[in-house]
Structure 1
Amino acid sequence: MKGFLELGKILGIKIEIHWTFALLLIWIGLVEFENSGNLEKVIISQGLILVLMACVVLHELGHAFMARKFNIKTNSIILLPIGGVATLDEIPKKPKQELLIALAGPTVNIIITLILALVIPLRSYFNFDTVLIDEQLYEPTFQNLLFYLFIANLMLVIFNLIPAFPMDGGRVLRALLSFRLSRVEATNIASGIAQGLAILFFIVGLLFNPFLVLIAFFIFFGAYGENQMVKQYSILEGHIAKEATLTNITLLNLTTKLEEVIELVLTSSEKDFVVFDNQQVEGVLYQKKIIENAQSRSLLVGDILDKSVGFIDADTPITEVLERMQKEKNNFFPVTENGEIIGAIDRSNISEFILLKST
């Protein structure tokens, strides 16, 4: 994914980090050095961030492993400066599944917190001598690092269990409501509560802490996006790919020149093309490939098409088509019926289908 660096894989799950994490480390390092002027403390603060990042990975792995119990795969874990995201192959549709998957992440942090509580002499940090506490916390010791990690994991639990999308608490709330209500109704209520909390955070943030304003925007638009997605999926329920298939498409063959394809792109609304030769589909020529090779117009379609593309059966539910598009990061598929190609389906046409059905 653009802007992300792959750190590796854990049991087949890609761990990716956004480049802005480097800015976070630099900023925290500069702030710490300005406040203390102590290089050792700067190194410890950087170490704390990296260890906390590992805790976030464990949190997301908790979601991933619980999802695996319900045969839901996790493509990747994405680390952002504001937290982590586990990208699942599909959305858990049963309330019990969503509840357990949502709770699995915070449970990992609770376990880490309990382990640290057994290792750290917590009583020494909780006394009424604030001057002594400040002096103790200011010392760059390994014990203090563990204490900060204890507090950070405790805060992760509290923050993630706020009953607001896109945090785990919002999903827990929706799952509990879904035992009695439809998923659409449950999501609508949960997102309404989330946006109400976001407005509260925004007001408090303006008065006391600007960081809460950032969280407010994160919650408000995250809740809005979740609500819209669930509504769209509910509109698509009961509809199949054939209903949203583009039937008036241009079929290219292997010997079509790229120059002709560019002319088609400029004079029509088509961006991606099905390549058809000898009465069978050979692959797809994507807009990205057309743009990449635009300076080599003498190339043939057969030289640059993607042959690894699968098909969508005309009777496939559109919700499954969307899930496949997300899973394979591909927004365009040829559609077949009884073994014959009848057109293609793409994300933009599905969006138009949703708009027409929602009016």
Structure 2
Amino acid sequence: MQKHLRIGSLFGIPLFLDPLWFVIFVLSTLNFGFAYQEWGAVMAWSGAIAMSLLLFASVLLHELGHSLAAKSQGIQVNSITLFLFGGIAAIEEESKTPGKAFQVAIAGPLVSIGLFLLLIAAANILPSNTPSSIVIGDLARINLVLALFNLIPGLPLDGGQVLKAALWKATGNRFQAVRGAARAGQILGYTAIALGLAVDYFTSDLGTGLWIALLGWFGIRNATNYSRIATLQETLLNTTAAETMTRDFRVVDAKQKLRTFADLYLLDNSTSQVYFAEADGRYQGMVLVDNLRQIERSDWEIKTVQSIVNILSEIPTVEEKSTLVEVINKLEKEQLIRVTVLSPAGAVAGVIDRGDIVQILGQKLKLRISDTEIRQVKQDGIYPSGLKLPLIAKSTKD
């Protein structure tokens, strides 16, 4: 797995460079270096390096615009990363309303337009046709292109985020809005690939055509990812604990002696490892085998199961109506192996572990997950590597 290089932080937001950033930095420097050759070799390459650094500073400020808009809404921003195709701000969760989502989306292009206006004004003040005025003028135009390009209405571009906010406002359904903006992004991506191939064919400019096609591929890939995550988030919110839980536990008599309990259940490896005690027709709580081990064996003939019960009010529980978002967040926040599901009457209705969550999602989303994989998840207590459920659940809001 590639590791990003941390280069510092701004406003408490860590800044990173993807290794592939150096590729585009070199290509950018070569492009400007050859363009500025009339200044002489030393001045041309110095200007090219400065131009490339200022270009990526502009991208960083663009992403910082999104990030500060999100932070102003109380949303955590985990990082900003510069990579091959520009930059990305890792914003932890969605804005609460379409209007606030629009504010975050438009902030980046507004920063770029602001930079364009400031830089073009500075270029006009400086003596014309000097290296400094040319570099600043080029940088101004690039910021304008950056703003206009990002406003194209399709995810993952900022214009796609603006479109998503508009569709969200119109439909009242955030997930439907994401899928609509993602479809627009996929169409744009396929169009870019076709355009890139056309440029290659009709002009023999392989570099430009390949770059346009790569941008199209990147757009399709990320738009598809947006759509899949939206569908998963919607499923997590629409699936309840009652649908997910199993009754993979045993109910034992709270009044029986510990010796009897151990002989009946603990010596039989085929029985469930989750036990609940009941007495007089009511659940008393969960029986923890670790509690049994803390009691002297000589007392097993005297003490009852009730002595090792953790009452229901002291164990982690959720209601039957709780969403999978709530269940997953509880499992992760409290580092639990499983959680107990209570009925409206306060009785034990079932239990949920990570394997149960993967199983219900596999059924609802028609994922290819085998019974063997589900058993492995239950045993290890770890979700499959490609299913980032803790992160997705944490970022999901109703």
Aligned to 2:153, what secondary structure does the other structure show? coil
d(CA) in 2 for partners of 1:71, 1:350: 30
Asked if the contact 2:8–2:16 (Cα under 8 Å) also holds between the matched residues in 1, the reply is yes
d(CA) in 2 for partners of 1:245, 1:122: 69
- Relative to structure 1, the CA distance from residue 196 to residue 335 in structure 2 (aligned partners, 3 Å threshold; closer, same or farther) is same
Q: Quick one: which of 70, 74, 77 aligns to 1:71?
A: 74
AA at the equivalent of 1:68:
K
Find the counterpart in structure 1 of residue 162 from structure 2.
Answer: 172
d(CA) in 2 for partners of 1:72, 1:113: 28
Asked if the contact 1:245–1:335 (Cα under 8 Å) also holds between the matched residues in 2, the reply is no
Find the counterpart in structure 2 of residue 8 from structure 1.
Answer: 8
Asked if the contact 1:244–1:345 (Cα under 8 Å) also holds between the matched residues in 2, the reply is no
Find the counterpart in structure 2 of residue 150 from structure 1.
Answer: 140
| Displacement of 1:46 | 1.8
The answer to whether residue 19 in structure 2 is matched with residue 19 in structure 1 is yes
- Relative to structure 1, the CA distance from residue 240 to residue 87 in structure 2 (aligned partners, 3 Å threshold; closer, same or farther) is farther
d(CA) in 1 for partners of 2:316, 2:58: 39
Find the counterpart in structure 1 of residue 88 from structure 2.
Answer: 85
Asked if the contact 2:32–2:51 (Cα under 8 Å) also holds between the matched residues in 1, the reply is no
- Relative to structure 1, the CA distance from residue 247 to residue 177 in structure 2 (aligned partners, 3 Å threshold; closer, same or farther) is same
Please show how residues 85-234 of structure 1 align to structure 2 within 5 Å: 85-121=88-124, 136=129, 141-181=131-171, 182-208=173-199, 209-210=208-209, 211-234=211-234
| Displacement of 1:163 | 0.5
Asked if the contact 1:236–1:318 (Cα under 8 Å) also holds between the matched residues in 2, the reply is yes
- Relative to structure 1, the CA distance from residue 324 to residue 100 in structure 2 (aligned partners, 3 Å threshold; closer, same or farther) is farther
- Relative to structure 1, the CA distance from residue 184 to residue 33 in structure 2 (aligned partners, 3 Å threshold; closer, same or farther) is closer
d(CA) in 2 for partners of 1:26, 1:343: 52
- Relative to structure 1, the CA distance from residue 99 to residue 277 in structure 2 (aligned partners, 3 Å threshold; closer, same or farther) is farther
| Displacement of 1:25 | 2.6
- Relative to structure 1, the CA distance from residue 244 to residue 2 in structure 2 (aligned partners, 3 Å threshold; closer, same or farther) is farther
- Relative to structure 1, the CA distance from residue 106 to residue 14 in structure 2 (aligned partners, 3 Å threshold; closer, same or farther) is same
d(CA) in 2 for partners of 1:318, 1:218: 31
d(CA) in 1 for partners of 2:247, 2:79: 34
d(CA) in 2 for partners of 1:98, 1:193: 18
Find the counterpart in structure 1 of residue 362 from structure 2.
Answer: 355
d(CA) in 2 for partners of 1:277, 1:60: 52
| Displacement of 1:6 | 0.6
Q: Quick one: which of 318, 332, 345 aligns to 2:324?
A: 318
AA at the equivalent of 1:355:
G
- Relative to structure 1, the CA distance from residue 352 to residue 322 in structure 2 (aligned partners, 3 Å threshold; closer, same or farther) is same
| Displacement of 1:333 | 5.3
Larger CA deviation: 9-18 vs 193-202: 193-202
Please show how residues 234-245 of structure 1 align to structure 2 within 5 Å: 234-240=234-240
Question: Aligned pair count?
Answer: 284
Find the counterpart in structure 2 of residue 273 from structure 1.
Answer: none
| Displacement of 1:44 | 1.6
AA at the equivalent of 1:107:
L
Aligned to 1:180, what secondary structure does the other structure show? helix
Aligned to 2:231, what secondary structure does the other structure show? helix
| Displacement of 1:34 | 6.3
AA at the equivalent of 1:18:
D
Asked if the contact 1:313–1:335 (Cα under 8 Å) also holds between the matched residues in 2, the reply is no
Please list the CA deviations of residues 223-244 of structure 1 after superposition, one character each: whole Å capped at 9, or x if unmatched: 1111111111111214356865
- Relative to structure 1, the CA distance from residue 100 to residue 247 in structure 2 (aligned partners, 3 Å threshold; closer, same or farther) is farther
Asked if the contact 2:126–2:133 (Cα under 8 Å) also holds between the matched residues in 1, the reply is no
Larger CA deviation: 26-35 vs 88-97: 26-35
d(CA) in 2 for partners of 1:277, 1:119: 74
TM-score by length of 2: 0.61
- Relative to structure 1, the CA distance from residue 212 to residue 92 in structure 2 (aligned partners, 3 Å threshold; closer, same or farther) is same
Aligned to 2:337, what secondary structure does the other structure show? strand
Please list the CA deviations of residues 3-58 of structure 1 after superposition, one character each: whole Å capped at 9, or x if unmatched: 20011111221101111122223334455566748243122212211111111111
Asked if the contact 1:33–1:39 (Cα under 8 Å) also holds between the matched residues in 2, the reply is no
d(CA) in 2 for partners of 1:158, 1:173: 14
The runs of 5 or more residues in structure 2 that have no matched partner are 200-207, 250-287, 292-314, 342-347, 367-398
Asked if the contact 1:89–1:323 (Cα under 8 Å) also holds between the matched residues in 2, the reply is no
| Displacement of 1:167 | 0.7
Larger CA deviation: 74-83 vs 87-96: 87-96
| Displacement of 1:81 | 1.9
- The RMSD of aligned alpha carbons is 3.6
- Relative to structure 1, the CA distance from residue 320 to residue 67 in structure 2 (aligned partners, 3 Å threshold; closer, same or farther) is farther
AA at the equivalent of 1:109:
S
Please show how residues 39-78 of structure 1 align to structure 2 within 5 Å: 39-78=42-81
Aligned to 1:7, what secondary structure does the other structure show? strand
- Relative to structure 1, the CA distance from residue 317 to residue 78 in structure 2 (aligned partners, 3 Å threshold; closer, same or farther) is farther
| Displacement of 1:350 | 4.4
Larger CA deviation: 194-203 vs 28-37: 28-37
AA at the equivalent of 1:154:
L
Asked if the contact 2:29–2:52 (Cα under 8 Å) also holds between the matched residues in 1, the reply is no
d(CA) in 2 for partners of 1:324, 1:26: 46
d(CA) in 2 for partners of 1:144, 1:81: 25
